[in-house]
Structure 1
Amino acid sequence: GRRLAKVVDAASGRFEGVYASPWPRATQSAEIAGREMDLDNIRIKRYLHELVPLVDPALPEFQGFPMGLEATPTEGRLFVDRQVEKIRSRFFRAPTRRSFVFVFAHGNLIRYLVARTLKLPYEAWAMMDIAHASITELRVYASGFEALISFNDTGHLPPSMVTTA
């Protein structure tokens, strides 16, 4: 939380708020960070919850995939796509002024947002490891161009606190 407050102090632009998944780990992290930044208005959004891993065993990316996950049914893929699009419609609009938000969410959702920003298929998530409490920065420019600025940054954490699922 304290380290995140320093990130806010160093950022340029208008701070527009903290959003969090309703799942306990994300909500608790947002509340801790909010306290450190003297914010008490954490916006809990149901659509920021974790999403299922999308798996298509026919894709070359999944040949030899170590987890042995079953193929995702069509309805699961459609659900993920709708959820990601809902989030993108809220947070990925071309800005009229420089601003930023903090979103406390979960690994698969973050990986899907990164994949979309990089114009990759959702299945690219399988090649992205992500640590708990890491920071990923995605930027949308006034032109609508999107860029991955940083991914899975854990420099704000002591090494003993860097963990993955």
Structure 2
Amino acid sequence: MSILRGTKKLLLAAGLAGCGAAAAVLFTGLHKDTESFKAHASSASLLLPDYKFINLHNYIATKWDYNWDRREPNSLIAPIKGDFGSLPECDQDDYNRRLEKAKSTATRHLLLIRHGQYRMDADTDELRQLTSLGRDQANRIGERLKELDLPYTRIIKSTMTRATETAEIIHTHLPDIPMTACDFIREGSPIVPEPPISNWKPEPKQFFQDGARIESAFRKYFHRADPSQKQDSYDILVCHGNVIRYFVCRALQFPPEGWLRFSLYNCSMTWVAIKPSGRVIVYTVGDTGHLSRAQMTTN
């Protein structure tokens, strides 16, 4: 208990007695095993009255899954049978060659663009067209992408009207980049959010249907490069706020239920890179540097 008392004094001296997160981190460092950590929970109630200790411990213990896209090289080739050390050297060399051949060498960049502002008072998707401001926003992100002058591979647009119109405006700035449409990245309800919000409650069947589709889109576009790809690629996906937020959570291996905890402006840019090792880097989320303050809208 002397360590616990000393920790309390340290926290109080630092002015952190009311900060649950900071206290929880220190306690986690002191008590590596779960049972010990839980045993001191009641003693720390003054500092951490409302914290769920076991959840924090489990979160910190979570490791990065390098085979999240099922493209980790050693999972793509058949293993050598028997004891590795007892096999002929030629078999080991063959295994190593196949392992190297299965490795990615290029980085896949995904630039996720949310559509421009649109008419929310319309009853059907066909009538939910971009507003005048939405077209201005689309022009600005088109100009931004052109200014970046990256070696873009393709533009993939959602088949919903507002995203299609946004993509077509972007395409006027990048006319040489091939453009295709994809139903998978249409707007939807990816997963029940946590915490929920009172003014948005889709029916369970909507999560069931949309969630499978949006997860399919994630698996289609988010993965490391094929070993045959020699140069880095830059795909532009013009889609929707819910879809992009879910993608970011999944790509970073964060709890996907947290997708509704952040927002994205219209025609903002989110930049995700998938390295050959399977590591994921997010360079920007909802970047609006190309928009004026008056052009920053969320509907």
TM (normalized to structure 2)?
Answer: 0.47
- Alpha carbons of structure 1 residues 37 and 71: separation in structure 2 relative to 1, 3 Å: closer
Q: Check conservation: 1:20, 1:27, Cα contact below 8 A.
A: yes
Task: Return the match for 2:152 from 15, 38, 41.
Answer: 15
CA-CA distance at 1:136 after TM superposition: 0.4
Task: Tell me the matched-pair count.
Answer: 154
Instruction: Quote the offset at 1:94 in angstroms.
Output: 0.8
Relative to its length, the structure with more strand (as a share) is: 1
Quote the RMSD (CA, aligned, Å): 2.0
Query: Is 2:176 aligned against 1:39?
Result: yes
Match of 1:51 in 2: 188
User: Which letter does structure 2 place at the counterpart of 1:152?
Assistant: G
Partner residue in 1 for 2:201: 70
**Greater mean deviation of Cα atoms: 148-157 or 75-84:** 75-84
Equivalence for 2:65: none
Of structures 1 and 2, the larger Rg is shown by 2
- Post-superposition offset of 1:158: 1.7
Structure 2 residue ranges without an equivalent (≥5): 1-141
Is the contact between residue 251 and residue 280 of structure 2 (CA under 8 Å) also seen in structure 1?
yes
* 1:16-165 equivalence runs, <5 A: 16-39=153-176, 41-52=178-189, 54-55=191-192, 59=194, 61-62=195-196, 65=197, 67-70=198-201, 72-73=203-204, 75-95=205-225, 96=229, 97-165=231-299
Query: Alpha-carbon deviation of 1:53?
Result: 5.9
Gaps of 5+ in 1: none
Aligned-residue sequence identity (percent) comes to: 27
Task: For 1:145 and 1:18, locate their aligned partners in 2 and report how far apart those are by CA, in whole Å.
Answer: 23
- 2:158 touches 2:238 (CA, 8 Å); kept in 1? yes
Give 1:85's aligned amino acid: E
Structure 1 position 71, deviation (Å): 6.5
1:4 matched to which residue of 2? Answer: 145
Aligned residue type for 2:166: S
SS of residue paired to 1:20: strand
Cα pair 1:55 1:69 within 8 Å, conserved: no
Query: By how many angstroms is 1:128 displaced?
Result: 0.8
Q: CA deviation at 1:40?
A: 6.4
Q: What displacement does 1:15 show?
A: 2.1
2:214 and 2:254 map into 1 onto residues whose CA distance is 14
Question: Using a 3 Å threshold, how does the CA distance of structure 1 residues 28 and 71 change in structure 2: closer, same or farther?
Answer: closer
Structure 1 position 101, deviation (Å): 0.5
Q: How far is 1:85 from its partner?
A: 2.9
Structure (1/2) with the larger helix percentage: 2
Following TM superposition, by how much is the alpha carbon of 1:44 offset from its aligned partner in structure 2, in angstroms? Answer: 1.0
Q: Distance in 2 between matches of 1:123 and 1:68?
A: 17
TM-score by length of 1: 0.82
- Give per-residue Cα distances to partners, 1:64-104, cap 9 Å, x unaligned: x4x4333751x433333322332223211211431110000
Distance 2:182 2:164 in 1: 10
